[in-house]
């Protein structure tokens, strides 16, 4: 049996959902969560744009706390391409993040300048710019008092600007980024509401060659937001023949998951992650499903569609 958001607020105060409707009108929007960020770091770092010297197109979907009515869902799609003899790159990303009656849509164009440090190592600087659309539709909730100012309809846009730097080699990938450098502020009946604070990301991943066929790839992702505890993702992946991937991961040791990925027809990747929370907010009944499909192509003469491992 499905539960509704308004019932959840009564039963479990202190969760993300209740924060969105706080009486102080000071709720802050967090970046979407991704279990498959390793498949597409462009979602959190614009410096990843075209770093593998090819054309990449992707689409993904995350359904958090499946079975919970009004649960967070995230759709993302886009692509990026290496240009000018692999010295520069450009990309486009669209993300739609929904939670209850809140729908936030972000559209950003990214640019990266790449410096080849040696035969296998690239340093990339990335920027992204676009807009964020914040939409609140209280009619999606079962409210007794639709005139309550806390639940005022909203549909506004704010600019978005981000930056990042990344170093990639045949064995490692390290990146630092601030995907949204601007603090988003909207106007609700003449009263300013801060809907977003800057997020800082540090990601590191390394490839251990256990044999000619088997690779081991541990990854760490740190996320810092003012006023919130440091968030830590730990990910352990086993790669076989550069085609099959199986892994386990945890986020702050309060959510645990498994993931799998397969490469087929040499250019397509299909990945899936199943995540189970263990904290007190939703218990363990509401699992999270995430899926992503991507394609890598040699669209230009200087492109390389081979799998780099990152």
Whole-number Å distance between alpha carbons of 236 and 222: 15
Q: How far is CA 287 from the centre of its chain?
A: 18
Burial class (CB in 10 A: 0-12, 13-18, 19+), 274: middle
245 found inside a domain: yes
Say if residue 276's pLDDT is above 70: yes
How many domains, in total, are found in the chain?
A: 1
What secondary structure does DSSP assign to 273-289, as a single string?
Answer: EEEEE-STTTTTTS-EE
- Percent of the chain at pLDDT above 70? 84
- Beta-ladder partners of 166: 124, 175
Q: Tell me, what's the pLDDT at 85? A: 96
pLDDT for 285-308, tens place per residue? 789 999 999 999 999 999 998 888
| Residue 302 forms part of a structural domain | no
Segment 170-188 mean pLDDT: 89
- Domain residues for the domain of 209 are 5-297
**In terms of C-beta density within 10 A (0-12 exposed, 13-18 middle, 19 or more buried), how is residue 291 classed?**
middle
How far is residue 81's CA from residue 112's CA, in Å, rounded to a whole number? 10
Residue 137 lies in a domain: yes
Quickly state the pLDDT bin for 208 (edges 50, 70, 90): very high
287 falls within a domain: yes
Whether 264 has a pLDDT exceeding 60, the answer reads yes
Per DSSP, the three-state class of 160 is: strand
Longest dimension (CA), the chain: 65
According to the model, what pLDDT value does residue 114 have? 98
Q: pLDDT-based confidence at 68, cuts 50/70/90?
A: confident
Task: Assign residue 103 the CATH number of its domain.
Answer: 2.40.160.40
| Residue 115 predicted with pLDDT over 60 | yes
């Amino acid at each position: 049996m499905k539960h509704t958001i308004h019932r959840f607020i009564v039963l479990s105060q202190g969760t993300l959902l209740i924060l969105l409707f706080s009486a102080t009108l000071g709720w802050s929007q967090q970046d979407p969560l991704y279990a498959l960020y390793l498949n597409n770091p462009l979602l959190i770092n614009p410096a990843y744009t075209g770093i593998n010297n090819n054309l990449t197109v992707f689409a993904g979907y995350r359904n958090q706390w499946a079975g919970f009515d009004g649960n967070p869902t995230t759709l993302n799609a886009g692509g990026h391409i290496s240009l000018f003899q692999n010295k520069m790159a450009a990309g486009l990303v669209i993300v739609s993040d929904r939670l209850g009656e809140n729908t936030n849509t972000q559209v950003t164009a990214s640019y990266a300048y790449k410096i080849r440090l040696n035969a296998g190592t690239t340093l990339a600087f990335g920027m992204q710019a676009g807009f964020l659309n914040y939409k609140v539709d209280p009619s999606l909730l079962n409210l007794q008092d639709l005139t309550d100012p806390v639940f005022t309809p909203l549909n506004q846009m704010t600019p978005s600007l981000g930056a990042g730097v990344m170093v990639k080699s045949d064995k490692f990938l390290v990146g630092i980024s601030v995907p949204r450098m601007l603090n988003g502020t909207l106007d609700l009946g003449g009263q300013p509401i801060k809907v977003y604070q800057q997020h800082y990301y540090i990601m590191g991943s390394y490839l251990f060659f256990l044999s000619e066929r088997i690779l081991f790839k541990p990854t760490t992702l740190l996320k810092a937001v003012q006023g919130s505890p440091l968030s830590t993702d730990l990910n352990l992946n086993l790669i076989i023949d550069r085609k099959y991937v199986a892994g386990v991961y945890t986020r702050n040791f309060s959510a645990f998951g498994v993931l799998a990925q397969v490469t087929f027809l040499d250019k397509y990747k299909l990945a899936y992650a199943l995540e189970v929370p263990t904290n007190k907010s939703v218990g363990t009944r509401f699992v999270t499903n995430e899926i992503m499909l991507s394609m890598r192509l040699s669209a230009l003469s200087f492109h390389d569609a081979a799998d780099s491992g990152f």
